[in-house]
Amino acid sequence: MADIIIKNGYILTMDPSLESIKNGVVVIEDGRITDVCENTEETADTVIDAQGSVVMPGFVNTHTHAGMTLFRGYADDLALSDWLENHIWPAEAELTASDVYAGTRLACLEMIKSGTIAFADMYFFMEEVGKVVEDSGLRAALSYGMIELWDEEKGKAELKKGKAFINEWDGKADGRISAMYGPHAPNTCSKEFLMKVREQATEDNAKIHIHVLETEAELNQMKDQYGMCSVNMLDEIDFFGPDVLAAHCVWLSDGDMDILRNNNVNISHNPVSNMKLASGIAPVTKLLDRGANVCLGTDGCASNNNLGMFEEMKTAALLQKVETMDPMALPARQVLEMATVNGAKALDLNSGMIRKDYNADVIIVDMNKAHLNPLYDVPSHLVYSAGSSDVRTTIVNGRVLMDDYRVLCMDEQKVIDEGRDAAEKLMSRVDAKK
């Protein structure tokens, strides 16, 4: 007997070897998908009727700072350097472990409700993030964000913290958590420090999550400092590889794109954050044309201001069309791949497709809504018409985290109240310091 059978749904497999099934069945046992078919004789403890819904792989958000939900709507409409240096960093200096716990719980609640099954996070007080992920049931690739600022002693302490986090958390929560090194960016960490991070990551068999060429200011700073851009500098120190997740990559030359592709670097595109901070437009279609693995992230809630992957997909697709002046650029199906298959590849997850033996990381999207009818093409609706609140069920590792809009893995109202309280107290401490 299986654990879960999802029946009567439109199965969008995202599997190149298996077409979508108009009225199909997904069978789940021990956290895995054991069958994807038109009919089954199998029985299960839980039978979910997905009539009028799309059954698809859940989203992988490949760049976020989950605890920053507490800064949602704080310091809007500013350029990145002003936003970060004069507003966000002074406010983050007041953060406590319990703030990050409350903020990350709020983030996980939002992600579960909007169909995300895994996320790559870089922040502070990462033990709190680990605890939240463990309890929530989500998957995550977590990194302690290291900012060295050319201070050798600080660098040593940061690397020690990064390593301690990896030692304690990699593989935790039955393998749902992986841990990475998180050097913040090439313009906040010295070349020497980044070389040490690379060496340590190789030795520890850990991946690396880093911001790369997000702004023109970073490009100019790097040219002044090293006589070359961040990608060239990182390439020179043999930093790149398939274990690197590079967020943003907005200011790339053609040569930089070749370097990233040739080194199989995973690139997290974060279009809403890039638009809000007016950082620029990443050359996504050029990267995809080269065969690079481009995935999709929201960035933190102070630069987005939500964690919804539906909005991110639509923005990504529209932005590339305007950038290239080609309405055929980044079609719906391709952007869906970025949000599922490519994200899973970047985080080394056996997820991102509805396929036999894959993780049972499945969402059910309710199509019985005014804004989703009539329905000619499912990928089109998912990218251009659907929204976060259309997700009715989220399953991760075979556990139902949200069932028909009801969150089962946490007390929704308590998480909202505690997030709001933590933000209120945090902001009074921030104001007192002004």
Q: Given the rule CB under 6 A, which residues bind ligand LTUXU72L?
A: 65, 84, 88, 92, 122-124, 145, 147, 184, 211, 214, 273, 299-300, 303
Residue closer to ligand LTUXU72L, measured from CB, 213 or 402? 213
Is 65 part of any known ligand binding site? yes
Is 371 part of any known ligand binding site? no
Residue closer to Zn ion, measured from CB, 3 or 299? 299
Nearest approach, Cβ of 210 to ligand LTUXU72L (angstroms)?
Answer: 10
Q: Which of 362, 353, 355, 352 is nearest to 393 (CA)?
A: 362
Binds 303: which of Zn ion, ligand LTUXU72L, none (CB < 5-8 Å by kind)? ligand LTUXU72L
Each residue 287-326 as x (binds Zn ion by CB under 5 A) or -, in order, gives ------------x---------------------------
Binds 92: which of ligand LTUXU72L, Zn ion, none (CB < 5-8 Å by kind)? ligand LTUXU72L
Q: Which of 146, 141, 166 is nearest to 156 (CA)?
A: 146
Nearest approach, Cβ of 292 to ligand LTUXU72L (angstroms)?
Answer: 20
Residue closer to Zn ion, measured from CB, 92 or 299? 299
Residue closer to ligand LTUXU72L, measured from CB, 128 or 366? 128
Is 209 part of any known ligand binding site? no
Binds 184: which of ligand LTUXU72L, Zn ion, none (CB < 5-8 Å by kind)? ligand LTUXU72L
Nearest approach, Cβ of 68 to ligand LTUXU72L (angstroms)?
Answer: 6
Residue closer to ligand LTUXU72L, measured from CB, 147 or 281? 147
Nearest approach, Cβ of 193 to ligand LTUXU72L (angstroms)?
Answer: 13
Please state, in angstroms and as integers, the Cα–Cα distance from residue 25 to each residue in 40, 55, 81, following that order. Answer: 7, 9, 50
User: Cβ distance 320 to 368 under 8 Å?
Assistant: no
Residue nearest to Zn ion (CB): 299
Is 128 part of any known ligand binding site? no
Cα–Cα distance for residue pair 67/164, rounded to 1 Å: 20
Nearest approach, Cβ of 184 to ligand LTUXU72L (angstroms)?
Answer: 4
State both tokens at 184.
């913040």
Residue closer to ligand LTUXU72L, measured from CB, 92 or 99? 92
Binds 88: which of ligand LTUXU72L, Zn ion, none (CB < 5-8 Å by kind)? ligand LTUXU72L
Nearest approach, Cβ of 333 to Zn ion (angstroms)?
Answer: 27
Residue closer to Zn ion, measured from CB, 57 or 297? 297
Is 211 part of any known ligand binding site? yes
Residue nearest to ligand LTUXU72L (CB): 145
User: Cβ distance 189 to 195 under 8 Å?
Assistant: no
Per-residue HEC secondary structure of the chain comes to: CEEEEEEEEEECCCECCECCEEEEEEEEECCEEEEEECCCCCCEEEEEECCCEEEEECEEEEEECHHHHHHCCCCCCCCHHHHHHHHHHHHHCCCCHHHHHHHHHHHHHHHHHCCEEEEEEEECCHHHHHHHHHHHCCEEEEEEEECCCCCHHHHHHHHHHHHHHHHHHCCCCCCCEEEEEEECCCCCCCHHHHHHHHHHHHHHCCEEEEEECCCHHHHHHHHHHHCCCHHHHHHHCCCCCCCEEEEECCCCCHHHHHHHHHCCCEEEECHHHHHHCCCCCCCHHHHHHCCCEEEECCCCCCCCCCCCHHHHHHHHHHHHHHHHCCCCCCCHHHHHHHHHHHHHHHCCCCCCCCCCCCECCEEEEECCCHHHCCCCCHHHHHHHCCCHHHEEEEEECCEEEEECCEECCCCHHHHHHHHHHHHHHHHHHHHHHC
Is 381 part of any known ligand binding site? no
Residue closer to Zn ion, measured from CB, 299 or 311? 299
Nearest approach, Cβ of 76 to ligand LTUXU72L (angstroms)?
Answer: 13
Nearest approach, Cβ of 51 to ligand LTUXU72L (angstroms)?
Answer: 41
Which residues would be at the binding site for Zn ion (CB under 5 A)? Answer: 299
As annotated, the binding site for Zn(2+) includes 63, 65, 211, 299
As annotated, the binding site includes 63, 65, 92, 184, 211, 214, 299
